[in-house]
Structure 1
Amino acid sequence: MFKIILALLGLYFFGIFGAFLGYIAGSFIDRYRAYGAGAINPFTSAQRQTVFLETVFILMGKLAKADGHISQEEINHVENFMQKLGMSPEHRQVAIGLFKQGAAPGFDHAPKLNEFMIVCGHTRNLGQMLLVYLIVMAVADGHMDAAEESLLRDVARYLGYDPSAFRQLLDMVLSQSHFARGQPPSATTLDDAYKALGVTRESSDQEIKRAYRKLMSQYHPDKLMGQGMPEDMIAMATAKSQEVQAAYDLIRKSRNM
């Protein structure tokens, strides 16, 4: 519908070239509106994978530069990230180029997020995984400063998260990271386990089970690949599911569930 309207407006004001541009712009609007109505995503899996990867590395660069400088810890995190993805030397160079693009002074990330929403925005899981990767990146140097959190909030807003939903996801991801392999237990480990699942000590056993199953479904490799997540990034989602499993096991043991 919009592609016809914008094509006619473009023809009226700018001629044939304007009609062409109007038709293209209207097509994107129609697709985006269709996603909200539950229509089938017209983009191929390869297209979604490409846009997902580009968005991840561009926003990693933007996030690393948010506080004014890129720390060695952040560089090491990106290097480790690419290593875990098993990237070829050619793909590593492309990823580094995207990272530098995002880190450039004054870089506007809005167009890339708009493209992400058009191509990948029909499923909340891909948007959530994008935020998860960026949150982990933000704390790669041991802390998250105000500029980094502000950028994350802005990205979350583009992805459809209200402030409270973003805060809950942020707390969950940070708490889940405490259950990464090799992390020693602490005095607050059980509290972290509840936060990792997005529940509280007052939650019932059934509520905890539902939260656990929901998270495991969101991190499920087959589901994420079916929605367009690049296969190389599945290992990272698997690591998050292992953290969720460790947190749930601790809660279950403490409650004799």
Structure 2
Amino acid sequence: MIKWFGAFVGYLFLRLPGAIIGFLIGSLIDGASRSGGTVFTDFTRQKVSPADFELNLLSLCSIVIKADGRVSQQELDYVRQYFLATYGKEKANAIFRTFNEVIKKREISGQRICAYLNQRTRYEVRLQLVHFLFGIAQADGHVSEAEIRKLRELAGYLQIGATDFESIMAMFVESADNAYKILEIERTATDEEVKKAYRNMAKKYHPDRVNTQDEAIKRGAEEKFKEVQKAYEAIQQERGI
């Protein structure tokens, strides 16, 4: 693809800024004729290749890592280990070399990246993306208020509903009613309402609903589905259902 050739040539001359410029120029050249690639969405949306998705994912990772004003080694290691487990050593190392350049970039527009993803990914994929970003924030053992604010901001750009955001956050930030928040219900819900909420959440977050070729997002879907099951089991045990 021309855009990746342009990115490669630009990187040789101007490092990361040149790669970005080359990528954008190449996209203009081959964008009109591109009809192949992996589809992460249904037919009504535009297409996004795995490489495009990974580049935007890395940019969002860097935004979250820098949200509290410091670059945590634990969070960097989380990203590295996640890509190693997902893609294997060779591809993960190539991805992480790009990530090291992205993390040094001072200004990355989360709003622009999210607008791009909104046009090309289904809602279920974006939910798992927020889940993955929360995992990064928690990698150092604590999700700070600054990180929560940044994650809430990014979730807003990704058009994630407030209730869905609170459900995901409850998986990473401890509170007395976490299990209920994950199932998006109040503690006062009846047993039948609890069962109905679980059925709805199980459908909503089932990995099969995440129509994507990206292994990192698939793994996130599986993790979130397990959290929904754990929340339901905790309420069942609490209530003797």
TM norm. shorter chain > 0.5: yes
| Structure 1 residues 150 and 201, CA gap change in structure 2 (3 angstroms) | closer
Q: Write the distance in 2 (CA, Å) between the matches of 1:103 and 1:139.
A: 21
1:230 maps to which of 193, 214, 217 = 214
Q: Write the distance in 2 (CA, Å) between the matches of 1:144 and 1:245.
A: 23
Please report how far the alpha carbon of residue 79 of structure 1 lies from its aligned counterpart in structure 2 after TM superposition: 2.1
> Cα deviation per residue 1:110-141 (whole Å; 9 max; x = unaligned)?
33222111211xx2111211111112212222
Amino acid at match of 1:250: A
- 1:215: which partner in 2? 201
Q: Give the TM-score, by structure 1 length.
A: 0.67
Between 1:124-133 and 1:169-178, the stretch displaced more is 169-178
On the 8 A contact 1:216/1:241 being kept in 2, the answer is yes
- 2:131: which partner in 1? 132
Q: Write the distance in 1 (CA, Å) between the matches of 2:207 and 2:58.
A: 21
- What CA RMSD, in Å, does the superposition of the two structures yield over aligned residues? 3.0
Please report how far the alpha carbon of residue 56 of structure 1 lies from its aligned counterpart in structure 2 after TM superposition: 2.2
Alignment of 1:187-206 (within 5 A): 191-206=177-192
On the 8 A contact 1:63/1:103 being kept in 2, the answer is no
On the 8 A contact 1:117/1:159 being kept in 2, the answer is yes
Where 1:176 maps in the other structure, the secondary structure is: coil
Q: Does 1:40 align with 2:43?
A: yes
5+ residue gaps, structure 2, are 1-27, 33-40
Amino acid at match of 2:137: A
- 2:158: which partner in 1? 159
Amino acid at match of 1:253: Q
**Larger % of helix: which?**
1
Please report how far the alpha carbon of residue 103 of structure 1 lies from its aligned counterpart in structure 2 after TM superposition: 4.8
Q: Write the distance in 2 (CA, Å) between the matches of 1:111 and 1:95.
A: 22
| Structure 1 residues 128 and 103, CA gap change in structure 2 (3 angstroms) | farther
Q: Give the TM-score, by structure 2 length.
A: 0.71
On the 8 A contact 2:205/2:224 being kept in 1, the answer is yes
Please report how far the alpha carbon of residue 245 of structure 1 lies from its aligned counterpart in structure 2 after TM superposition: 0.9
On the 8 A contact 1:58/1:99 being kept in 2, the answer is no
Q: Write the distance in 2 (CA, Å) between the matches of 1:91 and 1:78.
A: 10
Please report how far the alpha carbon of residue 252 of structure 1 lies from its aligned counterpart in structure 2 after TM superposition: 1.6
Please report how far the alpha carbon of residue 50 of structure 1 lies from its aligned counterpart in structure 2 after TM superposition: 4.0
Q: Write the distance in 1 (CA, Å) between the matches of 2:64 and 2:216.
A: 22
Q: Write the distance in 1 (CA, Å) between the matches of 2:103 and 2:213.
A: 21
- 1:61: which partner in 2? 62
Please report how far the alpha carbon of residue 159 of structure 1 lies from its aligned counterpart in structure 2 after TM superposition: 1.6
| Structure 1 residues 130 and 94, CA gap change in structure 2 (3 angstroms) | same
Q: Write the distance in 2 (CA, Å) between the matches of 1:221 and 1:86.
A: 18
Q: Write the distance in 1 (CA, Å) between the matches of 2:83 and 2:118.
A: 24
Q: Does 1:107 align with 2:108?
A: yes
Please report how far the alpha carbon of residue 142 of structure 1 lies from its aligned counterpart in structure 2 after TM superposition: 2.4
- 2:234: which partner in 1? 250
On the 8 A contact 2:132/2:217 being kept in 1, the answer is no
Larger radius of gyration: 1
Amino acid at match of 2:44: N
5+ residue gaps, structure 1, are 1-20, 26-34, 179-185
Between 1:244-253 and 1:97-106, the stretch displaced more is 97-106
Where 2:113 maps in the other structure, the secondary structure is: helix
Q: Write the distance in 2 (CA, Å) between the matches of 1:102 and 1:117.
A: 23
Please report how far the alpha carbon of residue 94 of structure 1 lies from its aligned counterpart in structure 2 after TM superposition: 2.1
